[in-house]
Structure 1
Amino acid sequence: MSEGTAKPAHVAAGELQNRQFRYFDYVMVAFVVILLLSNIIGASKRSFLDLPLLGHWPFGAGILFFPISYVIGDVLTEVYGYARARRVIWAGFVAMLFMILMCIVVVALPPDTGWTGQAAYEQIFGFGAIPRIAIASIIAFWAGEFVNSYVLARMKLMTQGRHLWTRTIGSTIFGEGVDSLIFYPLAFLGAPGWTVSQVLVIVFTQWFLKVSWEVLLTPFTYLVVNFLKRREGVDIFDEGTDFTPFRTRV
């Protein structure tokens, strides 16, 4: 068979510690870019849909794109294994910290005389006024992504690599569940204008919408996973993997 069409070999993750993959860096960049943009652009706008029976349905614009980071997280773990996905999650975590630091510094810089954009900057990028939201976002991302990756890697071993859809959707149910359970209560519980019931409603509605996105994107996930496995020539299983999140070495 020609390169790119041969069936990928089943290998344990530990056998490929020094292996260089041709597409890994691109997938990592896509993950970090979508993570940052969905938080810095999408999170700042609230929109709505007019749904049949339900009527006016408000939502944060970031929900349209943030779940794609979970899809890419699934691809990373499924194709490259938990250890490499773990490195990417830490890269995203550090990138988010730097993004918040940069927002704080840029907003705090005194505006030049005659420049009228300071109020807009403070409204969009002003983490200083709402630090708990930034902290909640980072903690929820870190925990949710690691749960997502861990569940998928374990399910791949349990299913012996069969039924990809069960582990992409199953891992998202747990990962997005942890993300929502941490972020919304930590960010909004006890804040002015938020009741306990409102926080609970948004936890479950946002979780449901994010998981629904994963279900809708399942055909796309299959295409990407199958393409990368053929091109990389391996099908990695996390046999003997150390699943601690507190390391970055492959």
Structure 2
Amino acid sequence: MIRSNRLLVGRDDLMATTSRSYRYYDLVMAAFVTVLVCSNLIGPAKIAQVDVPGIGSYVFGAGVLFFPISYIFGDILTEVYGYARARRVIWTGFAALFFASIMASVVVALPPAPFWEHQAAYEVAFGNAWRIVAASMVAYFCGEFVNSFVLAKMKVAQRGKHLWKRTIGSTIAGEAVDSALFYPLAFYGTGIIPNEALPIVMVAQFFTKTMVEVVFTPVTYKVVAFLKRAEGVDYYDRNTDFNPFKLEP
């Protein structure tokens, strides 16, 4: 239960709310950015395979373990603090991802010392082609904003009830956009993944990422309830400007 004196916002007090200081907002933002950078730097270099009883071998990119968690943090940010503050975090994540990609390319391009024999392995781990990096950033940008927009609209329409419907529903929308953009932009015509196999890969990744959201729903509930109590806010985006390129409230 959220205490009865919680602050319900979203009408004419937008400026007052967005100028408030919150105890945990920065921590949630830091967690979001950390997961996002890890998903793009640690995960893409490895293709994993697990044996699922009754199904057989399941092959997936290791980054799929990280990226859905960023959507969970996106859900938490929008649900508790509203779209405007989530928008700032999305842009912060975009900037961090861009910087990390630039620095990874610089470090990979530096000439190795004659006695250092691990350049090839380093290039495999951190030398993602710029086409893949660009595709990842475009897909992230569009998918995260779709996720936040859908959740904010569903919350107002549902009057704050049925949190699980909007966390899962917004993730379905956001992950669908993300998968539909990333794989064609990154791999179509490259031969890395056959063109005819792209739809299968897209559906598999979309399903896996969405299931992560479903599995983590109880955790999302607990975190959202804690933050609403601790921060004294439960934001409703009734008069919000949803322009993704507007950084000010």
User: Into which bin does the TM-score normalised by the smaller protein fall?
Assistant: over 0.9
Partner residue, 1:86: 87
Which secondary structure does the structure 2 equivalent of 1:42 belong to?
coil
Tell me by how many angstroms 1:139 deviates. Answer: 0.4
Task: Compute the displacement of 1:36 (Å).
Answer: 0.3
Superposed CA RMSD in Å reads 1.3
- 8 Å contact 1:107–1:125 — kept in the other structure? yes
- Conserved 8 A contact 1:7-1:230: no
Q: Please tell me whether the aligned partners of residues 156 and 237 of structure 2 are also in contact (alpha carbons under 8 angstroms).
A: yes
State the partner residue of 2:9.
11
User: Which residue in the other structure is 2:168 paired with?
Assistant: 169
Partner in structure 2 of residue 219 of structure 1: 218
Q: Which residue does 1:29 correspond to in 2?
A: 30
- Secondary structure of 2:59's partner? strand
2:229 alignment partner in structure 1: 230
Scaled by the length of structure 1, what TM-score is found?
0.94
Aligned length: 245
Unaligned runs of 5+ in 2: none
Contact in 1 for aligned 2:150/2:170 (Cα 8 Å): yes
Change (3 A) 1:171 1:55: same
Q: 1:215 Cα deviation (Å)?
A: 0.6
Contact 2:8–2:234 at 8 Å: present in 1 too? yes
C-alpha displacement at 1:55, in angstroms?
A: 1.3
In structure 1, C-alpha distance between the alignment counterparts of 2:192 and 2:26, rounded to whole Å: 43
Gaps of 5+ in 1: none
Deviations 1:137-179 (A, max 9, x none): 0000000000000000000010011100010000000000000
By how many angstroms is 1:191 displaced? 1.3
TM-score (normalised: structure 2): 0.95
AA at the equivalent of 2:74: G
Q: Structure 1 residue 5: deviation in Å? A: 5.1
Whether 1:112 aligns to 2:113 is yes
C-alpha contact 2:18 2:85 (8 A) present in aligned 1: no
The aligned amino acid for 2:47 is: R
Instruction: Give the match's secondary structure for 2:44.
Output: helix
Decide whether the 8 Å contact of 1:70 with 1:145 is kept in 2: yes
Counterpart check, 1:122 vs 2:123: yes
Summarize deviations over 1:22-77 as a string: whole Å, max 9, x none.
11000000000000011111121111111234311111111112100000000000
> Aligned letter for 2:126?
F
Q: Say which is worse superposed, 96-105 or 42-51, in terms of deviation.
A: 42-51
Q: Any conservation in 2 of the 1:77–1:149 contact (CA below 8 Å)?
A: yes
